[in-house]
Amino acid sequence: MTKYKILEILRNNDENFISGELLSSRLGVSRTAIWKGINSLKEKGYKIEGIRNKGYRLTYDKEDIISEYEIKNIFSCKELGRKIYCFEKINSTNTYVKENNNFLKHGDVIIADEQTRGRGRNEKIFYSPKESGVYMSIFLKKNIFYDSLKLLSIASFLSVCKAIEKCTGFSPNLNWNDIGINEKKICGILTEGSFEGETGRIEYIVIGIGINVNNLDFPKNLKDKNTSLRLELNKEINRTKLISQILDEMENMICNKKYISNRKKILKEYIERTKIIGKNIEIKVMNKKIIGKVIGINELGGLIISKSNKKLEVIYNGELKICEE
Ligand code: BTN
């Protein structure tokens, strides 16, 4: 696309001016095409100065503009993100996938700068303000099995943790169903699947990842339980780098033939990170409350709970609270 070719030339020209004429002859397009390209870059948030008889220059290279171009510039995936659809505003990236699954291809990624109806687990809303977080859905059609749904969430949680570590040098806490810092949540994942009615075959899976990255504030009702990387680490985090690192980590973990046979390795890493085994917990599943001690995680990623009546119960989803010793 012309606009990104223009951007590349402006970037390589440091902060010097380059004339519209030179741009058009270097790219072999009309002056009008250059003018349109410049305007469209400005609309996307790039700060470009244009002076008559001098030309154009990039005054401030705002790094955190989420676009397919910027992400592909730095990531090295082969299977995930062959196509990345970026939206400035959308209701929910997971909902978009569900509504457009017929034309999406395996590995496609949908990212939004803002969600107006971000969805969380158990019908909750995932707060998704503009220019603050990572709201991303990954569409998978290959190598998926009914019993790998939970495993995919686990692999995604591990990928997000590793990506945060690589991008910030900080290790967040991996809890059972979210990632947190200092007892507050920074990331949640909503994995959904569509099943063929008759056969139960999985048609596709969508992994929806939501991370509070650069939020400076939260609404009153969320303040106590949520925080962002920026609030905790006291610095702005580049979302483009974080997204591309997550995709790299995910691809390493789930896009290879060994993925299913690596299940034990993935679970082992998860168990080590969650430090949940041996903890007394309370889990709310729908209207039921289960109290007990975690004694293990099964092959599918379910928590094995030993209840006070000594009976065992395996739980795959629910709101978990670790009880004080
Ligand atoms: C949770 O912790 O409850 C899960 C939150 C998942 C939020 C992400 S943001 C991207 C994707 N689109 C959605 O509507 N939800 C997921």
Give the mean pLDDT of 185-200.
88
Four-residue CA torsion sign, 202, 117, 96, 156: negative
220 shares a domain with 136: yes
**Ligand 1 pocket, 178 CB below 6 A?**
yes
In short, whether 92's Cβ falls inside 6 Å of ligand 1 is yes
Same structural domain for residues 257 and 111? yes
Q: Is the CB of 190 under 6 A from ligand 1?
A: yes
% of the chain exceeding 70 in pLDDT: 96
- In a shared domain, residues 115 and 74: yes
Same domain, 184 and 287: no
Domain boundary among 60, 85, 109: 60
CB-based contact 209:137 (threshold 8 Å) = yes
pLDDT of residue 287: 83
CATH number of domain containing 15 = 1.10.10.10
Q: Is 37 in the pocket of ligand 1 (CB under 6 A)?
A: no
Same domain, 287 and 260: no
> Cα–Cα distance between 179 and 172 in angstroms, integer?
7
Nearest one of 322, 318, 314, 319 to 296, comparing CA atoms: 314
pLDDT of residue 82: 93
| The two three-digit tokens of residue 36, written as one number | 């349109």
| Same domain as 168, residue 283 | no
**Number of residues that this document lists for the chain:** 325
Q: Which of the pair, 85 or 285, is modelled with greater confidence?
A: 85
Q: Which residues contact 160 (CB under 8 A, 6 or more apart)?
A: 179, 187, 189, 209, 211, 246, 249
Residues spanned by the domain of 47: 2-60
Residue from 119, 187, 225, 226 whose mutation best tests the ligand 1 pocket (most atoms within 8 A of CB): 119
Number of domains in the chain: 3
Give, using CA atoms, the residue closest to atom 2 of ligand 1: 188
Tell whether 100 and 34 lie within a shared domain.
no
Write down the pLDDT at residue 55.
93
Same domain, yes or no, for 166 and 21? Answer: no
Mean pLDDT to the nearest integer, 151-156: 91
b/e sequence 43-70, b meaning 16+ C-beta within 10 Å? ebebebeeeeeebbbbeeeeebbbbbbb
Give the closest residue (by CA) to ligand 1 atom 11. 208
Per residue in 94-108, pLDDT tens?
A: 999 999 999 999 999
Centre of ligand 1 to C-alpha 189, Å, is 5
For the chain, what is the mean pLDDT?
Answer: 90
Domain co-membership, 85 together with 215: yes
158-275-287 Cα angle (round to 5): 85
Q: What is the CATH number of the domain that holds 295?
A: 2.30.30.100
Residue 62 has pLDDT above 70, yes or no: no
- 195 Cβ neighbours under 8 A, 6+ residues apart: 146, 201, 202, 203
Contact present, 209 and 174 (Cβ < 8 Å): no
Q: State which amino acid sits at residue 118.
A: G
Nearest CA to ligand 1 atom 7: 210
**pLDDT at position 44:** 82
Instruction: Quote the CA–CA distance of 298 and 295 in Å, as a whole number.
Output: 10
CATH number of the domain enclosing 116: 3.30.930.10
153 lines ligand 1 (CB under 6 A): no
Query: Contact 156/250 with Cβ under 8 angstroms?
Result: yes
Please tell me whether residues 280 and 262 are part of one structural domain: no
Pair (98, 245) in one structural domain: yes
Percent of the chain at pLDDT > 90 equals 60
Average pLDDT over residues 235-239: 94
Question: Quick one: 147 exposed, middle or buried, by C-beta within 10 A (0-12, 13-18, 19+)?
Answer: exposed
Q: Are residues 152 and 249 in the same domain?
A: yes
**Residue range 42-50: mean pLDDT, rounded:** 86
Question: Angle at CA 183, nearest 5°, toward 324 and 312?
Answer: 50
Contacts of 178 (CB under 8 A, 6+ apart): 185, 186, 187, 188, 189
**H-helix or E-strand spanning residue 191:** strand 184-195
